[in-house]
Amino acid sequence: MRHLIPSYIRVPLVFFIIAGLVEYFVDSGDQPAFIEQPIILLFLLLVLLILIAIEGIVGSMDNILFQSLDEEGKERYLASRTKTPQFKKVNALYSKLVGKTKPIEEEGEIILDHNYDGIKELDNSLPPWWVYTFYASIIFAVVYLVRYHVLNADDQFAEYETEYAEANRAIEEYKKTAKGLVDFNTVEVLTETSDLNAGQKIFETNCVACHKADGGGGIGPNLADPNWILGGGIKNVFKTISEGGRDGKGMVAWKSELKPLEMAQVSSYVLQFEGTTPAEPKAAEGDVWVEEAPQE
Ligand code: HEC
């Protein structure tokens, strides 16, 4: 086997198989794994070096062993190297498939001696591969006939309709569970208690230092009044939380810390402050936000 594939093919082949496996198993996002994680590049380089080293060592071992053989041994070794491989099994399979069919060069022996206006009959036996394919097609035809014309199974149009309906159902199902796929264009106010409770928790962990637990404001503005510096409404609030406030004001972008769903939850929670009276409300900043009527 070793002599069938030369080393200049074997080494790259094994190398690319290993690199492919690494690529397949390492989750590296859009980038190839070895760019995302330089250590992998190092690993692949090492693999390449080792592969080349193995080739070198095995080659020189071969050489040394060959030199230690006597003349007769050397001759036998060389003879075995030059022998081309015999594909006995393939040949046997081929003759089985062809059977007793005469090849085209010998067809002259089996032509029948009647002659109708120049048309002669050739009495060759059918090759087994052809005969069995023909039997298989007969069985297929019977099954097909019974299934679709007697038992009236779904044809391709009906199959398409069912699969289409199923896929639509799956999409609806997915949309229900995919709250986490929101950005500030698609975000909606969440009203479920579980979401608002989660939002409260996120607010208490990350935001109270600047906005106070009741939204009254401190370093950050009052979140309970109808005035907004950066725009009110779920979409603007989500955007402020995700992208941060104006430079240097202290409100950082939270998108690296919070998942989209978490930002939607805390945005919905923040909107609950409006209309409540905080203990020490900070003076209103920005403009009163009026929700625009949804555009058609
Ligand atoms: C380090 C202090 C600080 C923290 C922590 C902080 N904020 Fe702010 N926040 C601010 C400041 C300052 C502003 C005003 C930004 C500006 O003027 O551009 C602001 C603005 C906002 C606004 C817009 C208010 C408006 O009037 O437009 C919202 C909404 C908001 N923060 C929500 C949050 C949420 C939710 C968290 C927690 C995830 C949070 N903030 C954490 C300081 C902070």
Tens digits of residue pLDDT in 90-138: 888 888 888 888 888 888 788 888 888 888 888 888 888 999 999 999 9
CA-based max dimension of the chain? 117
Going by alpha carbons, the residue nearest to atom 7 of ligand 1 is 251
Provide the pLDDT for residue 186.
83
Q: Are 183 and 213 in contact (CB under 8 A)?
A: no
Q: Phi and psi for 200 in degrees, rounded to 5?
A: -60, -40
Q: Rounded to the nearest whole angstrom, what is the distance from the C-alpha of residue 245 to the centroid of ligand 1?
A: 7
Q: Are 208 and 273 in contact (CB under 8 A)?
A: no
Determine the atom of ligand 1 nearest the C-alpha atom of 286.
26
Q: Are 224 and 273 in contact (CB under 8 A)?
A: yes
Closest to 219 in 3D by CA, of 245, 238, 198? 245
What is the rounded CA–CA span in Å between residue 98 and residue 89?
14
Domain residue spans in the chain?
7-82, 86-151, 154-179, 193-288
pTM score, whole prediction: 0.51
What is the rounded CA–CA span in Å between residue 59 and residue 14?
17
Provide the pLDDT for residue 3.
65
Closest to 271 in 3D by CA, of 230, 215, 192? 215
Closest to 258 in 3D by CA, of 195, 177, 203, 178? 203
Q: Rounded to the nearest whole angstrom, what is the distance from the C-alpha of residue 158 to the centroid of ligand 1?
A: 56
Token couple for 278: 């905080």
Instruction: Please say whether the dihedral angle defined by the alpha carbons of residues 122, 127, 131 and 137, taken in this order, is positive or negative.
Output: negative
Going by alpha carbons, the residue nearest to atom 40 of ligand 1 is 207
Q: Are 46 and 24 in contact (CB under 8 A)?
A: no
Provide the pLDDT for residue 204.
95
Provide the pLDDT for residue 174.
82
Provide the pLDDT for residue 254.
94
Q: Which residues of 209-247 are buried (b: 16+ CB within 10 A; e: fewer)?
A: eebbebbbbeebbbbbbebbbbebbbbbbbbbbbebbee
Residues of the chain with pLDDT under 70: 1-3, 83-86, 179, 293-296
193-288 homologous superfamily: Cytochrome c-like domain (1.10.760.10)
Provide the pLDDT for residue 179.
66
Q: Rounded to the nearest whole angstrom, what is the distance from the C-alpha of residue 206 to the centroid of ligand 1?
A: 10
